[in-house]
Amino acid sequence: MTDTSNTSESTAPASALTDKERELIAQMPYEEARDKLIQAVQALETGGLNLDQSMRQWEIGEALAKRAQGLLNDVRAKLDQAQADQAANQATAGTQSNLD
């Protein structure tokens, strides 16, 4: 029989969030994700949580931060594309190739 209690392999801890909770977070608009992230941070800063509660708040905060950052990245990409399109249009405005 092999004893695996002292192996160097690390296993990821079980998630405190359910698939449904993760799906809800993945569908949240930016403002809601931001507000709930603030609440999670405040809960951690206030203290008084046991270890399991703290870990759950941390995991919620991580998921919310990822959602909010993803939405901000999407907006940044759209703004960058709009600026690139505008610059391209200005470069050809009033040229013969634009009039054809």
Q: In terms of Cα–Cα distance, which of 37, 98, 46, 44 is closest to 71?
A: 37
Q: Looking at the predicted structure, is the pLDDT value of residue 7 above 60?
A: no
So what's the pLDDT on residue 95?
61
Kindly state the percentage of the chain with pLDDT values over 90.
67
Q: Which amino acid is at 83?
A: Q
Q: What angle do CA 64, 10, 45 make, to 5 degrees?
A: 35
Would you place residue 2 in the very low, low, confident or very high pLDDT band (cuts 50, 70, 90)?
Answer: very low
> Which pLDDT tens digit goes with each residue over 36-63?
999 999 999 999 999 999 999 999 999 9
Read off the pTM: 0.71
| Low-confidence winner among 1-10, 18-27, 73-82 (lowest mean pLDDT) | 1-10
